[in-house]
Amino acid sequence: MYKILIIEDDSIISKTTKKHLATWGYEVECVDDFKNVLSHFVSFDPQLILLDISLPFFNGYHWCTEIRKLSKVPIIFISSSSDNMNIVMAINMGGDDFIAKPFDLNVLTSKVQALIRRTYDFTGQSHLLEHKGAILNTRDSTLTFDGKKLELSKNDYKILHILLENKGKTVSRDMMMTRLWETDDFIDDNTLTVNVNRLRKKLAQLGLTDMIKTKKGMGYLVD
């Protein structure tokens, strides 16, 4: 089931659209806290966004820019400001399509279906893993925190992915070594320590100084 996030401050439009899209089998949520749109986006991890331009606090262009720092999720702008300037700006800011208000729900649904089909038929669904504001993008192996993005190496990404998948649980060193190197060959135990310490230094550059904790004699933990 594909998930759709509606970022629209007109409650009638958002609720009507949500109800209609739900009948087509989509899981739909509507943002109601327009100061914290990004946190709702991360926690819901949608496969498509319907985004109004005129919103309280920050406009749709702002939120499109913030989302694009984290994800390539398809975004359809919906707005009554349908002049050429707004359409061009919406696409240039990272939007994938534009539909003017008032819109026909069946036309909107067709656009949603077409965009989801083009995006996910071959690439699969995207996923974000979040921890205290740090966001791991599993599609491009990047970590974003406080507006800064870190490109992760293969092992950096695997270590962080394993720990975030098991957030709140201690992951044994043996399990991590098996997942990292996927081999029965002997791997020096110190190799894992070196990799984790190198990742910790990179995380510290983002301001994440205590993200990975060591459980002596057991393994590693993100909590």
The domain that holds 33 is classified in CATH as 3.40.50.2300
Asked if 115 and 132 sit in the same domain, the reply is no
Note the pLDDT of residue 3: 93
What's the domain count of the chain?
A: 2
Same domain, 92 and 157: no
Residues of the chain with pLDDT under 70: 82-83, 121-126, 182-189
DSSP string, 45-88: --SEEEEESS-SSS-HHHHHHHHHTT----EEEEES--SHHHHH
Structure tokens at 35: 């100061």
| Selection from 198, 97, 215 nearest residue 154 by Cα | 198
CA distance 67 to 69: 5
Q: In what order do the strands lie in the sheet with 48-52?
A: 27-30, 3-7, 48-52, 75-79, 97-100
Looking at 75, 95, 120, the residue that finishes a domain is 120
pLDDT at position 121: 62
Residue 83 has what pLDDT?
66
Predicted confidence at residue 187, as pLDDT, reads 62
- 169 in the same domain as 84: no
196/96 same-domain check? no
Give the whole-angstrom CA distance, residue 83 versus residue 87.
6
- The span from the CA of 135 to the CA of 145, in Å, is 7
- Specify the pLDDT at position 82: 65
Taking a C-beta distance cutoff of 8 angstroms, is the pair 77, 60 a contact?
A: yes
Residues 116 and 17 in one domain: yes
Global model pTM greater than 0.75: no
Range of the domain at 192: 128-221
3-state class (DSSP) for residue 221: strand
